[in-house]
Amino acid sequence: RLTGTFAGSALVAAGKSRIPLLAWLLPYPIMAAGVVLSWGHISLISIVWSYVAGMIVVNVVVMAAGFKHLKVERAQLARFWECAGIALTTTAIAYGFSRLPLHPWPLVLLSILVIPVLHVAIIGTVFARNPREFLSRSGPGRLRDAL
């Protein structure tokens, strides 16, 4: 979602505001279709997934338009895919945590304490080949400079 927001903002700044505007018309019919298709066995989760599907579509369309209409250098594109890989890895780890046989509150506490540290370690591994590179007080500033 965040990448779609950045791409949409860049398109607006580049004078192509019509693209994100029209893309935002897509989630509504997709959500409506999802609700209609699940009407016989409607549930909260099917409604939520209908909204999620619409949001995925709008963000993918805006990101694709951003890559098509804005000049993106090869190094920037490579960094984008590195960041996507980092996000997917952290998401997989978070999903793995959700499967741990713990009660909800200890699981939430463990996740809050461990997942951000693992995420920063993954970033350090990808960007600096050192998992501890950004795990310090000066780490966020060095990470900003690395980006």
Return contacts of 79-87, CB within 8 angstroms, 24+ apart: 79/147, 80/3, 82/126, 82/127, 84/3, 85/126, 86/119, 86/122, 86/123, 86/126
Q: Which H or E element spans position 113?
A: helix 104-128
- The model's pLDDT over 87-115, given as tens digits with 9 standing for 90+, comes to 999 999 999 999 999 999 999 999 999 99
pLDDT of residue 144: 84
pLDDT of residue 7: 82
Over 90: is that where the pLDDT of 37 sits? yes
- Provide mean pLDDT across the span 35-51: 92
